[in-house]
């Protein structure tokens, strides 16, 4: 599992290291890595390094200092380097001196168009972890002219380091070199960061240093290790029976998708209870289907809500499953029911896990507000408020636990934005909860396999929820194979 720390945490850890490191040593290490990456990008895009032209865009702080030192290192490799100083009087003094010594040129305002046109690479050293808000006009004007690849120092300027939000002009980087630890922006807005390289600065981060990560991301090995695999002693019951309470006369499809996803994601047994029993049986003969949750038989977890309806009947079904003392994934109409009839939660045994899986609209119904720019904070607050794991859907699915832990899922394209794909996610999650996984991990693993299934089903062209569901076994196979290969970060 990869950890990601907030900028405040990184700064604190950096200060500890700075106090016992010679002046400038960390910056030069950081800058050296930027120069190495810049040289590799020049080679990739132009076939060489010496004689190429690089433009640095330099802000008022240490991020600009990194860029200036990197420029000096590039000069030593025969690169023509110019620097636009956005705040000349505040430019990092030692960096600027080194840059000038190396023969680097400070670019005057009138020369900016010529440099942006001729530069083969642009280094964004405007702001790093002290960034607030979008690019200011002077920096935005420079980047408006840039057509060359951009290498961001630490993070793309103008993008919020802790939320990944973009609220005005911001850099779109081809690649980013970051230092010490990944920051939330790298996970929450990877499209703006491009290819991210992490330079180890030996920062004291981690539980052993009293600094817990702000965000975590599951590695493929975590998903593979969590996914239930039957052992020699197992039978269909010991692996956990998943119950699906979904669908209505109007929406039988949601029941078919959710039940099918549970069947394909896990190997034990799936029960279905509701008005779509005939449809579910005809699609999935292995599902034990009944008309009502009251006579469904024992299950180890329920996935409830898709197509359930938001009237009295749906409410009774939700109250029933919440009262069974087993984990419940409440999705779609079940979320609306929790929002409109909060007393339904009274049926819940407070010790049994609840997972809520809202999209933004359902989140607004549930909490009164849409998630806003800081989705991590929003998901975390909702998890605390409902004492539930909250899986907030979107391009990056977030999974927040009531104790504050947040997982961010790695998106694999946007093909999952198709009707019914959420029903598939509910079914997968129901299966994992029934197998006894920790609900936070279950939600993260389900989101990972769901995203993989979406990518496999689409293979670059539009797909459908049914196809995503059919691709679930292939996604699980991919996870298990990647893990066996030792490609644990994929
Ligand atoms: N502290 C350390 O140990 C290290 C820091 N390093 C670099 O230092 C950076 C942090 O440096 P600083 O804390 O000096 O600050 P930054 O360089 O991130 O920002 C400089 C100043 O820019 C201004 N600013 C904020 N938002 C702005 C915006 N939207 N537009 C224009 N100006 C804005 C602020 O006044 C801020 O203080 C890191 O991101 C990294 O690049 C590296 O050299 C590695 C070591
Ligand atoms: N732009 C996107 N990129 C990646 N995944 C997306 C995107 N939009 C939606 N998804 C995913 O697709 C699923 C949609 O679920 P949901 O909104 O409940 O749809 P439905 O109710 O039609 O099943 C969620 O898992 C969500 O994370
Ligand atoms: K930057």
Domain assignment present for 490: no
Tell me: do 185 and 315 sit in the same domain. no
Q: Is 89 helix (H, G, I), strand (E, B) or coil?
A: helix
d(CA 227, CA 442): 9
Helices (H) and strands (E) in the chain, counts: 19, 18
Distance from the CA of 405 to the center of ligand 3, in angstroms? 28
Q: Is residue 127 part of a domain?
A: yes
pLDDT at residue 487 greater than cutoff 70: no
Per-residue pLDDT at 485 exceeds 70? no
In this structure, which ligand is nearest to the CA of 254?
Answer: 2
Does 377 share its domain with 401? yes
Q: How many domains in the chain?
A: 2
> pLDDT for 331-346, tens place per residue?
999 999 999 999 999 9
Q: Which residues are annotated as a binding site for (6S)-NADPHX?
A: 62-66, 128-134, 154, 254, 307, 359, 423
245 with 206, same domain: the answer is no
Ligand 3 ion local residues (Cβ < 5 A) = 124, 152-153, 157
Give the per-residue pLDDT at 484. 72
Please give the model's pTM, rounded to 2 decimal places. 0.93
pLDDT digits (tens, 9 = 90+) for 258-317: 999 999 999 999 999 999 999 999 999 999 999 999 999 999 999 999 999 999 999 999
Give the chain's length.
490
Mean pLDDT for the stretch of residues 378-407: 97
- Please work out whether the CB of residue 61 comes within 6 Å of at least one atom of ligand 1: yes
Please report the DSSP string for 16-66 in residue order: HHHHTS-TTHHHHHHHHHHHHHHHHHHHHHHS-STT-EEEEEE-SSHHHHH
Final residue of a structural domain among 200, 217, 234? 217
Q: Output the domain CATH number for residue 116.
A: 3.40.50.10260
164, 236: one domain: no
CA dihedral over 189, 177, 94, 43, signed as positive or negative: negative
Claim to verify: residue 182 and residue 284 sit in the same structural domain = no
Reported as a pLDDT band with limits 50, 70 and 90, residue 480 is very high
Contact indicator for 33, 197 with CB cutoff of 8 Å: yes
Please provide the average confidence, as pLDDT, over all residues in the chain: 96
CA of 435 to the centre of ligand 2 (A): 24
Say yes or no to pLDDT of 79 above 60.
yes
Task: Please check the confidence at residue 207 and state whether its pLDDT lies above 60.
Answer: yes
Tell me which H or E stretch contains 233: none
Whole-number percent of the chain with pLDDT over 90: 94
Q: For a substitution probing ligand 1, which of 18, 128, 168, 177 has the most ligand atoms within 8 Å of its CB?
A: 128
With beta carbons less than 8 A apart as the criterion, state whether 456 and 474 touch.
Answer: yes
Q: Same domain, yes or no, for 420 and 453? A: yes
Do 414 and 464 lie in one domain? The reply is yes
Q: What is the DSSP string of 361-422?
A: HHHHHHHSS---S-HHHHHHHHHHHHTSEEEE-SSS-EEE-TTS-EEEPPP--STT-STTHH
Residue 82 belongs to some domain of the structure? yes
Does this complex have an ipTM over 0.85?
yes
- State the ligand closest to the CA atom of 449: 2
The percent of residues in the chain predicted with pLDDT above 70, rounded, is 99
Higher pLDDT, 11 or 490: 11
Which ligand is located closest to the Cα atom of residue 140? 1
Task: Give a yes or no: residue 140 inside a domain.
Answer: yes
Rounded mean pLDDT, 153-162: 97
Q: Please indicate, yes or no, whether residues 14 and 154 belong to a single structural domain of this protein.
A: yes
Return the ligand 1 atom nearest residue 158 CA.
29
Q: Is 68 in the pocket of ligand 1 (CB under 6 A)?
A: no
pLDDT tens digits along 231-258? 999 999 999 999 999 999 889 999 999 9
Helices assigned H by DSSP within 288-332:
312-322
pLDDT for the residue numbered 486? 54
Q: Where are the alpha helices (DSSP H) in 133-284?
A: 137-145, 184-188, 190-193, 220-226, 252-265, 277-283
């Amino acid at each position: 599992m990869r950890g990601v720390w907030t900028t405040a945490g990184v700064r604190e850890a950096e200060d500890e290291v700075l106090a016992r490191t010679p002046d400038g040593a960390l910056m030069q290490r950081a800058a050296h890595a930027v120069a190495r990456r810049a040289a590799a990008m020049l080679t990739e895009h132009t076939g060489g390094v010496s004689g190429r032209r690089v433009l640095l865009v330099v802000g008022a702080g240490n991020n600009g200092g990194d860029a200036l030192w990197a420029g000096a290192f590039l000069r030593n490799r025969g690169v023509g380097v110019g620097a636009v100083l956005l705040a000349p009087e505040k430019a990092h003094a030692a960096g600027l001196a080194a840059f000038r010594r190396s023969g680097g040129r400070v670019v005057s305002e009138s020369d900016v168009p010529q440099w942006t046109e001729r530069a083969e690479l642009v280094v964004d050293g405007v702001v790093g972890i002290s960034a607030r808000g979008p690019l200011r006009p002077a920096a935005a004007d420079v980047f408006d002219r840039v057509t060359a690849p951009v290498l961001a120092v630490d993070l793309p300027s103008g993008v919020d380091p802790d939320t990944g939000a973009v609220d005005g002009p911001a850099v779109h980087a081809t690649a980013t070199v970051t230092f010490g630890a990944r920051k939330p922006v790298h996970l929450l807005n990877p499209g703006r960061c491009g290819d991210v390289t992490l330079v180890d600065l030996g920062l004291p981060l981690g539980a052993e240093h009293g600094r817990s990560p702000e965000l975590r991301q599951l590695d493929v090995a975590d998903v593979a290790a969590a996914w239930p695999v039957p052992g020699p002693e197992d039978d269909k019951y010991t692996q956990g029976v998943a119950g699906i309470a979904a669908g209505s006369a109007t929406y039988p499809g949601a029941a078919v998708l959710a039940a099918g996803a549970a069947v394909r994601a896990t190997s034990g047994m799936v029960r279905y209870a509701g008005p779509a029993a005939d449809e579910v049986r005809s699609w999935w003969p292995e599902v034990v289907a009944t008309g009502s949750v009251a006579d469904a038989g024992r299950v180890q977890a329920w996935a409830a809500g898709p197509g359930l309806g938001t009237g009295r009947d749906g409410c009774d079904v939700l109250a029933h499953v919440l009262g069974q003392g087993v984990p419940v994934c409440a999705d779609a109409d079940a979320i609306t029911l929790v929002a409109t009839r909060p007393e339904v939660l009274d049926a819940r045994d407070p010790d049994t896990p609840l997972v809520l899986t809202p999209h933004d609209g359902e989140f607004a119904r549930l909490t009164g507000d849409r998630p806003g720019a800081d989705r991590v904070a929003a998901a975390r607050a909702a998890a605390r408020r409902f004492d539930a794991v909250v899986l907030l859907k979107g391009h990056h699915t977030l999974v927040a636990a009531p104790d504050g832990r947040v997982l961010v899922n790695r998106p694999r394209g946007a093909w999952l934005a198709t009707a019914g794909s959420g029903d598939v996610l509910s079914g997968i999650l129901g299966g994992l909860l029934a197998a006894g996984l920790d609900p936070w991990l279950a939600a993260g693993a389900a989101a990972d396999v769901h995203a993989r299934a979406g990518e496999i089903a689409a293979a670059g062209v539009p797909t459908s929820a049914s196809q995503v569901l059919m691709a679930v076994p292939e996604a699980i196979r991919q996870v298990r194979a990647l893990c066996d290969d030792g490609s644990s970060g994929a």
